[in-house]
């Protein structure tokens, strides 16, 4: 997903030489936005994070453009609605989109949000947090940093599934406190891509180190009863975005609440399944310590290369028992062949 036009960081030239203009090294991708062909440009002598989108009429590299058109199937889907919706949705970086498979565009009636919304059945959290009195950043002996959930670079360094306790809104420390990782939002540069068998998916445009925060699963926070009702309908359709808030549950306990990202959500709505995932999920507490209402955050499970698809395991505890399932097209060496709903 991306924007309603070219997001230029550099001005109008498509060359860079001694005279101060940028030189096109390669064309990486193209999309159709409102009838205008936009091209993603790699600039000669600049790292990948300087890549940006330029309208075709503003390019001055006919030989490179001819070679690109000769060797690559052009994108025929008009993704202008993606760009329009995401104009103000992305947290820190523009989200781009690529569809060279079909003409499917933005999901109908889907609302992009960056924070979960609660239904009327969801109560206010009943376990308030006790704020620290630190200034600017938490000091070494502050209870908030005693567990050392994150390293100095803000990367998670505890086992997957460990509850992460971050400083809350009443703590005295500032936004740059080392514990405030998830609440600061994702700094990942995302691209939404269309796949032949998997539909929409998400890749990272830059390399990510193990432990990097990638995104928070957000949507409608609903009751168990509502989730059961929606789940039956979703299973009949062969598609569900329900995520039980159950990472604090033990034994046979059932989650009181679920997050449904089907009609409202963020970039995580588009994450695909993999039987060999490169992301792990952690419960996170910020505003309170109510175990029934923790937030859910994705972190890099290993070093991830630029251009890799971001994926997690939809059903890590699934067995070959009963239940609805879909064919899996994740392509992992250890693919189980099915996704359990």
Q: If pLDDT is split at 50, 70 and 90, which confidence band does 317 have?
A: low
Q: If pLDDT is split at 50, 70 and 90, which confidence band does 79 have?
A: low
Closest CA relative to residue 284, chosen from 158, 173, 119, 165:
165
Task: Decide if 140 contacts 152 (C-beta within 8 A).
Answer: no
pLDDT of residue 84: 66
Closest CA relative to residue 196, chosen from 101, 74, 76:
101
Distance CA 150, CA 132 (A): 18
List, in sequence order, every residue forming a beta bridge with 200; answer none if it has no partner.
194
Closest CA relative to residue 312, chosen from 282, 271, 284, 341:
271
Phi, psi angle pair for 156, to nearest 5°: -65, 140
Q: Is 287 exposed, middle or buried (0-12, 13-18, 19+ CB in 10 A)?
A: middle
Distance CA 219, CA 268 (A): 10
Residue listed under structure tokens 């505003």: 287
Q: What is the CATH number of domain 117-340?
A: 2.170.270.10
Closest CA relative to residue 207, chosen from 279, 306, 303:
306
Q: Give mean pLDDT, residues 120-149.
A: 80
pLDDT of residue 341: 65
pLDDT of residue 2: 26
Range in 169-178, 214-223, 303-312, 322-331 the model is least confident about: 322-331
Annotated binding site: 132, 134, 167, 171, 173, 177, 275, 328, 330, 335
pLDDT greater at residue 163 or residue 51: 163
pLDDT > 90 in the chain, percent: 38
Q: Give mean pLDDT, residues 51-61.
A: 82
Can you name the CATH fold of 24-99? OB fold (Dihydrolipoamide Acetyltransferase, E2P) (2.40.50)
The structure's pTM equals 0.76
Cα end-to-end span (Å), the chain: 26
pLDDT greater at residue 341 or residue 117: 117
State the sign of the Cα–Cα–Cα–Cα dihedral 280, 285, 290, 294: negative
Q: Give mean pLDDT, residues 288-317.
A: 92
pLDDT greater at residue 233 or residue 297: 297
* Domain range summary for the chain, segments of one domain joined by +: 24-99, 117-340
Annotated binding site for Zn(2+): 132, 134, 167, 171, 173, 177, 275, 328, 330, 335
Q: Give mean pLDDT, residues 14-21.
A: 44
pLDDT of residue 239: 77
pLDDT of residue 295: 95
* Matching fold, domains 24-99 and 117-340: no
- Could you report the per-residue pLDDT of 272-292, keeping only the tens digit for each? 999 999 999 999 999 888 889
Distance CA 150, CA 166 (A): 10
Distance CA 6, CA 24 (A): 16
User: Token pair for residue 290?
Assistant: 């109510």
* DSSP annotation string for 277-290: -SEEEEEEESSB--
Task: Decide if 217 contacts 270 (C-beta within 8 A).
Answer: no
Distance CA 244, CA 234 (A): 14
In the predicted structure, residue 14 carries a pLDDT above the cut 60: no
């Amino acid at each position: 997903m991306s924007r309603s036009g070219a997001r230029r960081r550099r001005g109008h030239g498509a060359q860079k030489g001694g005279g101060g203009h940028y030189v096109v090294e390669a064309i990486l991708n193209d999309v159709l936005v409102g009838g205008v062909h936009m091209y993603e440009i790699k600039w000669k002598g600049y790292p990948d994070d300087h890549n940006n989108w330029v309208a075709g009429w503003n390019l001055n590299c006919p030989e490179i453009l001819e070679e690109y058109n000769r060797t690559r199937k052009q994108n025929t889907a008009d993704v202008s609605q993606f760009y329009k919706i995401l104009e103000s949705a992305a947290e820190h970086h523009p989200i781009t989109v690529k569809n060279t498979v079909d003409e499917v565009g933005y999901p109908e009636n889907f609302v992009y949000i960056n924070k979960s919304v609660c239904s009327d059945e969801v109560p206010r959290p009943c376990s308030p947090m006790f704020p620290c009195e630190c200034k600017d950043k938490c000091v070494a002996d502050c209870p908030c940093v005693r567990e050392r959930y994150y390293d100095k670079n803000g990367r998670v360094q505890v086992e997957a599934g460990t509850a992460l306790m971050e400083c809350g809104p009443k703590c005295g420390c500032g936004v740059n406190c080392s514990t405030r990782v998830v609440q600061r939002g994702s700094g990942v540069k995302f691209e939404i891509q269309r796949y032949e068998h998997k539909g929409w998916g998400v890749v990272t445009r830059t390399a990510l180190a193990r432990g990097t925060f990638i995104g928070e699963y957000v949507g409608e926070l609903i009751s168990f009863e509502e989730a059961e009702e929606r789940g039956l309908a979703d299973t009949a359709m062969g598609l569900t975005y329900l995520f039980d808030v159950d990472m604090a549950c033990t034994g046979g306990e059932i989650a009181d609440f679920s997050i449904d990202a089907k009609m409202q959500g963020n970039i995580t709505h588009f994450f695909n399944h993999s039987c060999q995932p490169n992301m792990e999920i952690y419960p996170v507490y910020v505003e309170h310590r109510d175990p029934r209402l923790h937030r859910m955050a994705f972190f890099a499970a290993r070093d991830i290369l630029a251009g890799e698809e971001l994926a997690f395991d939809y059903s890590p505890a699934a067995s070959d028992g009963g239940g609805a399932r879909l064919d899996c097209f994740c392509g992992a060496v250890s693919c189980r062949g099915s996704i359990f709903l």
